[in-house]
């Protein structure tokens, strides 16, 4: 059973024993409001020393022998090989076949997706906001793993839920132009809850199901063993950072690595 006051979430997925993965929450760190408390992002305005302490805490929680591949995320589709050189790579996904090297993405509403193969020989992590998702960051990550799609397992970490992710019509149209099944992932945002009437014309807004859109895109390339997707960062302010909710806020990390066999 998951402990609601734990600083880490351990994915519930049938990954091999060699694969380890966690997703952090906002709990258990050293940062002050509005970054309280387990902020891992150095780019959001938090005190640098406290971010360093938080990152050290993460290392201690999972094992100090694991190296992190931090990314400078730009809502793109670049996928890099995770390295142990301590440098930050400009990309939105990473992969590795090396042990004790963690592929890591930071989020505060965007969807973190962790990957492994069934034999436990390779892992990857991708940052999928709606732009990266529409442009194909998940497809690019699967391609980088270089194994059959049916051999891949995925876990969706905490992201903004379908009842909170408001988007414009242009976002809906972009996804639906690619796959007609995407229409089911959007519901009209009702402007008047008393009358039940939705906004019309160019002002129409939609609630998007980021988890469903990601599942759809993965299914189209043959990846169907997908787990997670049970959280909403926007609605759970106690456990999660949310950029949509708070504007100035911290970042959580989702990471996956290969342990020694």
C-beta atoms surrounding 227 within 10 Å: 15
Q: How many domains does the chain have?
A: 2
Q: What is the pLDDT of residues 49-86, one digit of tens each?
A: 999 999 999 999 998 899 999 999 999 999 999 998 88
Close Cβ partners of 198 (under 8 Å, ≥ 6 residues apart):
188, 189, 190, 191, 204
Q: Do 199 and 223 share a structural domain?
A: no
Q: What is the mean pLDDT of the segment spanning 24-37? A: 97
Q: Do 65 and 15 share a structural domain?
A: yes
Q: Is residue 123 part of a domain?
A: yes
At 248, the pLDDT band (50, 70, 90 cuts) reads: very high
Q: Report the alpha-carbon distance of residue 231 to residue 194 in Å, rounded.
A: 28
Residue 59: in which H helix or E strand, if any? helix 48-62
List the one residue out of 157, 124, 129 whose CA is nearest residue 239: 157
Tokens 């440098």 found at: 87
Q: What is the mean pLDDT of the segment spanning 173-188? A: 97
Q: Do 137 and 92 share a structural domain?
A: yes
C-beta atoms surrounding 112 within 10 Å: 24
Instruction: Using only the alpha carbons of the chain, give its radius of gyration.
Output: 18
What is the predicted pLDDT for the residue at 3?
A: 55
Q: Report the alpha-carbon distance of residue 87 to residue 66 in Å, rounded.
A: 15
Q: Do 188 and 73 share a structural domain?
A: no
Q: First and final CA of the chain: distance in angstroms?
A: 26
What is the predicted pLDDT for the residue at 253?
A: 98
**Cβ atoms of 107 and 85 closer than 8 Å:** no
Q: Which domain covers residue 254, as residue numbers?
A: 8-160+214-258
CA distances, 211 to each of 69, 73, 134, 200 (Å):
25, 20, 13, 26
Q: Is residue 1 part of a domain?
A: no
At 95, the pLDDT band (50, 70, 90 cuts) reads: very high
**Cβ atoms of 51 and 32 closer than 8 Å:** no
Q: Report the alpha-carbon distance of residue 127 to residue 110 in Å, rounded.
A: 7
Q: Do 191 and 118 share a structural domain?
A: no
Q: Do 222 and 117 share a structural domain?
A: yes
Q: What is the mean pLDDT of the segment spanning 229-257? A: 97
Name the pTM for this structure.
0.93
């Amino acid at each position: 059973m998951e402990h609601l006051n734990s600083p880490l979430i351990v994915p519930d997925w049938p990954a091999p024993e060699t694969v380890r993965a966690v997703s952090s929450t906002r709990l258990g760190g050293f940062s002050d409001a509005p970054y309280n408390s387990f902020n891992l992002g150095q780019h959001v305005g938090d005190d640098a020393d406290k971010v360093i302490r938080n990152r050290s805490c993460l290392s201690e929680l999972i094992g100090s022998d694991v190296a992190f591949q931090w990314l400078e995320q730009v809502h793109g589709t670049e996928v890099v090989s995770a390295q142990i050189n301590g440098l930050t790579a400009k990309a939105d996904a990473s992969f590795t076949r090396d042990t004790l090297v963690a592929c890591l993405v930071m989020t505060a509403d965007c969807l973190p997706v962790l990957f492994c193969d069934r034999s436990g020989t390779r892992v990857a992590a991708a940052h999928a906001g709606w732009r990266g998702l529409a442009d194909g960051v998940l497809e690019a990550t699967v391609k980088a793993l270089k194994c059959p799609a049916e051999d891949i397992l995925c876990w969706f970490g905490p992201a903004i839920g379908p009842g909170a992710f408001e988007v414009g019509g242009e976002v809906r149209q972009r996804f639906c132009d690619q796959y007609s099944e995407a229409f089911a992932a959007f519901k009209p945002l009702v402007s008047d809850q008393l009358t039940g009437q939705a906004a019309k014309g160019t002002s129409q807004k939609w609630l998007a199901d980021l988890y469903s859109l990601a599942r759809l895109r993965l299914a189209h390339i043959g990846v169907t063993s997908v787990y997670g997707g049970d959280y909403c960062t926007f609605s759970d302010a106690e456990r999660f950072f949310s950029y949509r909710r708070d504007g100035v806020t911290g970042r959580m990390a989702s990471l996956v690595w290969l342990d020694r066999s």
